Amino acid sequence: MKKILRYAPIAMAMLLMASCASKKTITDGTKLPSLPHAQTEKSTEKQSLQFVQRIADNNATTANILASGDFTLKTGSKEITVPAKLSMRKDECIRIQLLMPILRSELARIEFTPDYVLLIDRYHKEYIKASYSEVSFLANNGISFYSLQSLFWNQLTAPGAKHLSAADLKKFAADITAAGSRVPVSLSSGNMTFKWSVDAATALIKNADISYRSAAHGTSSLAWSYDDFKTVGAKKFPMTQQFGFNTNYGGKNHAAQVTLQMSAPKTSADWDAKTEVSSKYRKVEVDELLRKITSLQ
């Protein structure tokens, strides 16, 4: 129990830190006629765009997703698992609550909104509330609310885009000629490189890999995987999400892996997407908490 009380808020802070074509003949059973190179390339680009559109068509249509389950954090030789709740409202909030086993009282919560990040440590009665520009780790690694939202909602994302437009979809490259059951999809923008592995039959995203190159912090990487898809509203949503990241903070490399295993998804709108912090809680600076995290590794 002491281990859970000590590491639950640290686990939530580690989650905050994560917040990081060849041209061949296409065959579908029918032999295609020979085409001039320009026509073949144009046809391949069209099919690539059509596949990217299929991915976008899988986006959840519900505004709310709520689920309960378990949260597991692995960092170095340490591992904790606690009950958890995931509550998301499109364009407003991503919230994860860590709970006490059996009693189910809240130990900690992290809340991402478009304007700020909120981290509450119920046990120590401390909290962080800061804009993305104030959280140097997020700012230095190109992480915004909308990029995190896309990852949690199992969607494609592009830097600076709140929602992908038809023009944005043309920026993605889908290698529809790749062998196997997965289609590689990629996007490069400035210092960020995005790669997705997408199921060829369903166009559901199974893996996302993001890397960010920084002169000050080297290359940070975030690998996100999705499994156990269930129907939520009218679309499929992954009940198991696992993400691991590597980054440099304070001159030292840090790595962690988080697993969210959820069940019983709901689409209820009957919940408040904004958390009010009690005046009895002490505000903590981000750097103070990150020093605690790094001292544990």
> What pLDDT, in 10s, does the model give residues 238-277?
999 999 887 765 666 778 899 999 999 999 999 999 999 9
Q: Find all residues with CB under 8 Å of 61, minimum gap 6, and list them.
A: 233, 234, 235
The closest of 120, 113, 17, 143 to 73, measured between CA atoms, is: 17
Structure tokens at 46: 């069209």
Q: What does the pLDDT average to over 60-68?
A: 97
Dist CA 177 CA 257 (whole Å): 32
Q: What does the pLDDT average to over 105-127?
A: 92
Q: Is the pLDDT reported for residue 21 higher than 50?
A: no
Q: How far is CA 103 from the centre of its chain?
A: 29
> pLDDT over 70 for what percent of the chain?
77
| pLDDT confidence bin for 103, thresholds 50/70/90 | confident
- Look at strands 126-130 and 282-283 and give their pairing: parallel
| pLDDT confidence bin for 141, thresholds 50/70/90 | low
Q: What does the pLDDT average to over 27-35?
A: 45
- For 92, counting Cβ atoms within 10 Å of its Cβ (0-12 exposed, 13-18 middle, 19+ buried), the class is middle
The number of CA neighbours under 13 Å toward the Cβ of 252 is 10
Q: How far is CA 116 from the centre of its chain?
A: 17
Q: Is 139 helix (H, G, I), strand (E, B) or coil?
A: helix
| pLDDT confidence bin for 130, thresholds 50/70/90 | confident
CB distance 243 to 225 below 8 Å = yes
| pLDDT confidence bin for 22, thresholds 50/70/90 | very low
Q: Is the pLDDT reported for residue 15 higher than 70?
A: no
Helix axes 2-18, 286-295, angle to 10 degrees: 120
Structure tokens at 68: 């309960």
Q: Is 208 helix (H, G, I), strand (E, B) or coil?
A: strand
Each residue of 196-237: pLDDT tens digit? 999 999 999 999 998 887 776 677 788 999 999 999 999 999
Q: What is the pLDDT of residue 231?
A: 96
Element (H or E) spanning 293, and its range? helix 286-295
Dist CA 6 CA 9 (whole Å): 7
Each residue of 185-195: pLDDT tens digit? 999 987 889 99
Q: What is the pLDDT of residue 297?
A: 45
> pLDDT over 90 for what percent of the chain?
56
Q: What does the pLDDT average to over 71-92?
A: 92
